[in-house]
Amino acid sequence: MDTYEVVIVGSGFGALAAAKSLGKAGVRFSLISSTTEHLFQPLLYQAATGMISTGEIAPPIRQILAQYDSADVRLGRVVDVDPDKNQVSYVGAGTQHTIGFGRLIVATGATQAYFGRDEFKDRTFALKTVDDAIALREQILNCYETAHLTEDPKAKKDLLSFVVVGAGATGVELAGQIMDLAHRYFAGSFPDITADDVTVTLVDGVKDVLPAFGGKLSAYARAKLEKSGVEVVTGAMVTDIVDDTVTVQDVDTKTSRTIAAKTVVWSAGVQASDLASTIAERTGCETDRAGRLLVHDDLTVGTAQNIYAIGDVTSLNKLPGQSPVAMQQGRHVAKTITGKVDAGTPFKYVDKGSMSIVGRFSAVARLFGKVDMSGPIAWVMWLAVHLMYMVGFRNRYVAVVSWMSSYIGDKRPHFQYTDRVALRLATREEEERQAA
């Protein structure tokens, strides 16, 4: 059995931040990931709407860590952890493997939460993985193509109706982009479909859009969305999704309304990854309602002094589930392991700011937790920060070109028809010819 000084589980921002720090220090570590790529999740909505390709936001993990001689990357899904034996068990290539560790870093992130309505998973589109982005992009294309061919006004209206559940950053950004597609991309491709034919509804149970910002920034985001044509329905809970119809209930009046839509995207709430429950059971660590590990201030877990958890799989001092938090936690743990900070040193998050894009040339930003900005300047800052976080020079260069053609021009360079969409369209055309 192979044994490493450190084993890292996950391949997100926190995991890679820890891996890079350990690699620079020459610490021998193994990183176990269930995917071959590091996903830049905040830009998934841009891949789903054709602004950038999935390759630009999902570079290979092995390529990222190739420069570190002490790194070992393994593809697999961790199924168990034994704190007493300091061992991790994972399934890879259809076989279960076990490796030993001196220290363990759990950074497996979070999945979509459906608040007890798991049936919604099969009735909606998510936006957590590359496959999710591709599936949503195919759905949008297919809806337009089908609407172009139908002669039934009601069917056409339903096909061009989109509901986004969740008014956080992902929901706001996605709703804005779907509406922008109608105004600036599809308007030139489908002469019989105008932006007025397209309905985008953003729904959330909270009263504010982008509630993490609140105040003037939330009001600005709402106004921009509504001006673009997005219908914003806040203070309303989704109570049912069935037969291409979304039922929402006002949290105050308890009155309900229905919204017909062929496409429903769920971006409300998160749930800790499955490994979190295993870690909690093995170490006696408590969890919150979302299953996230309630880690100690030094990011250790339960009774295990050599097991750390970072990022979205954890809950600590109400810190936001954002990539800067995960990266700072990853570096803190690495410094603890390499002796740059004393064991038991509490993690302190330095809030450099948060931001969210709202639409073309508009964004909101809060710098250092107190300086609020909105409009084109915040939008430029958003572009610059996200470019900085993207891995690889080529990715940054291609992203700049893609953004220029999408934001300044009216192109969507990566909104190509996939094989599955092309097959559906070809099949439909053949069926129509046979019927004729």
Give Rg (Cα) of the chain: 23
Edge-to-edge strand list for the sheet holding 353-359: 353-359, 362-367, 371-375
In our burial notation (b when 16+ CB lie closer than 10 A, e otherwise), range 200-209 reads: bbbbbbbebb
SS (H, E, C) 157-226: HHHCEEEEECCCHHHHHHHHHHHHHHHHHHHHHCCCCCHHHCEEEEEECCCCCCCCCCHHHHHHHHHHHH
Report d(CA 262, CA 9) in Å as an integer: 37
Q: How far apart are the first and last CA of the chain?
A: 66
Count the residues in the chain. 436
Report d(CA 96, CA 94) in Å as an integer: 7
For the question of residue 281 being annotated catalytic, the response is: no
Contact assessment for residue 112 and residue 96, using Cβ atoms and an 8 Å cutoff: no
- Strand segments, DSSP code E, in 276-390 are 293-294, 300-301, 304-309, 314-315, 353-359, 362-367, 371-375
Q: 289, 266, 260: which is closest to 276 by C-alpha?
A: 289
Among 151, 173, 281, 431, the active-site one is 173
Q: 272, 244, 270: which is closest to 258 by C-alpha?
A: 244
Active site residues: 173
